Structures are given as structure tokens and as C-alpha cells.
Amino acid sequence: MNAGGASPDLVVVGAGTMGVWTALRAIRAGRRVVLIDAYGAGNPRASSSDVSRIIRSSHGDDSFYTQWSRAARTDWIALGEQVGQEIFVQAGALWFAYREDGFEAGSERVLRSLDIPVARLAPADVTHRWPGIRVDDVAFAVFEPEGGLLRARLGVRSAADVFVAEGGLLEVAAVRPGSVENDRLVDVVAADGRRWAADTFVFACGPWLPRLMPDVIGTRIRVTRQDVHYLGPIVEADRWQAPVFPSWVDYDAAFYGVGGVVGHGVKVATDLYGGDWDPDAGERIVDAASIETVRAYCARRFPDLVAAPVVETRVCQYETTVDSHFLIDRHPDLANAWLVGGGSGHGFKHGPSIGSYVVSLLDGHEPVGDERRFRLDRSGVPSGLRTRADTAPVGR
């Protein structure tokens, strides 16, 4: 018997940014939807958690992701207006560039071609506008004035609340695929025996997707530990707070950060991959040595933060595909099941656009053009983002 009454049209497993926006888009399209998460929306184990995430349109020469991010920005703003909360904070997004042929210059060209506001700043312009930033080692900076940050945990929980308010059912349960008839999944089942049947299933499980579908995912997604630090400025603390202080990315150095928001410290984190990670059993305590890495970077870029105390830490995770593109495709053996994952460190902001795309697939849309990058059977490494041989694509 189906838990919760009559069978829904759609069960979405995973209430992170990809799952919650898929569920919300689907219910607004007229489907009966159940959204299931093992620990609840915005829980501390989730990749779609923590205080903040960068939102930026810059994606190098890749106009596809640029447009997806820009569209998602509008939806995040609308969600905040709907719930009466500031989910998007327009602090701007600042990129440090060392060379003319890098990611930042490509981003600038694409942003200008799409009429997205962008400015190129000389190092002196950066230090004049944000005195706490040291940029004597960079050639120039690219600034997106309409970028900034998303309050991640608040955003996911707000989307889940709206989903429920609009008629969806949100359940907390750790589920796995259940019965199969011919080439169709019948239901998902929890450890206590509860079952949810549906016409269609979407598995948007973040770091749990490889474990839930090992035969299909294989090594396509790697889950790695990522330590994050929040520093508490002592001197002139107000100028380190968003929106006065921008979100920023040092792409070639593999660091990123966010100004303080709603009483939290200044976020500074390395974007290099950590070790393999178990999202269920892993201790959420940062490596003590990681703070020295952060302080060494601050000495180079934010000298006033070198002695700032660590006021908070987080251990989150990346779920990274080999080419850093998302995985969004039908299960190869189950005609009514879809796999959505591989956030790869840049997925959070794209949640609304991913949700729209997944629902279009459920409606029969066939991938075209750049959308083919999301397929399970893709080969090669597309040019839009870098491979694991380099640093990870930034934007957490």
C-alpha cells in the first residue's frame, strides 16, 4: 500500500536544490508529487546546506551555463519575494584574473555578448573600492554587479515550504528503489517497510546517488570532503559584510569566498578536491591543518583577515563528474526513472533551471545541443569546464 494515500504521479528522492526545484516545478505543472529526503530539506549533511553559496553568471566561454544561471537568479529572487525573505543578496561577484586568455576573460566576453552587466577593473580600482583586498599579483579583475550570494539553507527550506503549501507532500525517510515490473520501477521503499508508488521517479540524491545506483553511476560521480571556514574580522568588521563586500573567486588559485551575512563570518574556502567522503558516517569536523591553508591564502589576498579568529567551520562535499557537467538522464534500465546529480561544486545556484529542465524531460523533451552534455553515455571532456586534472569549477 502506498504511504500517504493515493499514488502520486511523481516521487522525487532528495530535497536538495535539484530535487526541491524539480518537485516544485512539477507540482506547478499539475502533477501530484511526493518529495522524500533522508534527513529533511536543508539538513547539515546535505550539499545544499550551509549559510551561503555564490551565485554568478560567469562560466568562462560557456554561454549555456551563463544563461541557466541568469534565469535561475530571477527564480531565486522570486522565491524570496514569495516567502518574504532575502534569499538572494546582491553583493556582486568579483573574479581575480592573472592572464588575458583565462576563464575570467572568457566570462567577460560571454557576459557582454548576452548584455549581462559586467565590468573589468584594474588592480587599483579593486583596492580603492574594497580596501581589504590585496591584488598586486593579478592582471585585472572581472566584476559582476548583479551576482552575489544565495542563503543556501534558507533557500532550500523555503522552496520546500512553498512546495508543501502548494499541495506537495514532503516525507523524511531514507529510501531505495523497490519493486520492478518489466522496465518500470513500481515504488521506493524505506528501511521500516514504508513504500511510495508512483508513475515516475526522479533520484536527485546528491552524494548518495552513487551509493543508491552503483551499477549505473559507477565512477561517474566522485564524492569528496570539502572544509569551509568562517572568519570573524576584528578591525572594521562592517566592510567585510555582504552586500558591502562581494562574493569572490580566485579561479587559478582554487579559492573562493563570501562576505559575512546574517551574523555569520567571512567565508573563505579552498576549491581543491578533498579526500573521498561518506556523507552519512563522516564526522563534520574540519581538518585542523586546513585553517593554515586558509590563513596562508589570506596573507596573500586579505591581510587583515590573517589573524581573524575562526568563528564557524563546516564540512560539506562535492559530488563531481569527470567533466564537471551535471548528470541528468533517464535510468538506462528503468523507463520511468530519472537520475539527477553531479553538482560538481557549481550546481546549487542552477537549481531552478535544473528543475525546469527535468520537468521538460518528463514531458517528453529530447536533449538537444548543449543539453547532451548531461547524458550518462557522454564521451570525451567538453570544453566549457575543466576536468579533475585541474582545480574544481568554483562557485560553492
Mean pLDDT by 10 residues, the chain (396 residues): 69 98 98 98 95 97 98 98 98 98 98 98 98 97 98 98 98 98 98 97 98 95 97 90 98 97 95 95 95 97 96 96 96 98 96 98 97 88 38 45
pLDDT of residue 379: 67
d(CA 340, CA 202): 7
Tell me the whole-structure pTM to 2 decimals.
0.94
Radius of gyration of the chain (CA): 21
The strand pair at 195-197 and 327-330 is best described as: unpaired
3-state secondary structure of 226: strand
d(CA 297, CA 293): 6
Q: At what angle do helices 103-113 and 63-83 cross, to 10 degrees?
A: 70
pLDDT of residue 390: 42
User: HEC states along 180-233?
Assistant: EECCEECEEEECCCCEEECCEEEECCHHHHHHHCHHHHCCCEEEEEEEEEEECC
pLDDT of residue 5: 56
3-state secondary structure of 110: helix
Q: Residue length, the chain?
A: 396
All 3 cell numbers of residue 303? 591581510
Hey, where are the domains in the chain? 10-374
CATH class assigned to 10-374: alpha beta
d(CA 58, CA 96): 12
pLDDT of residue 235: 76
pLDDT of residue 236: 83
pLDDT of residue 22: 98
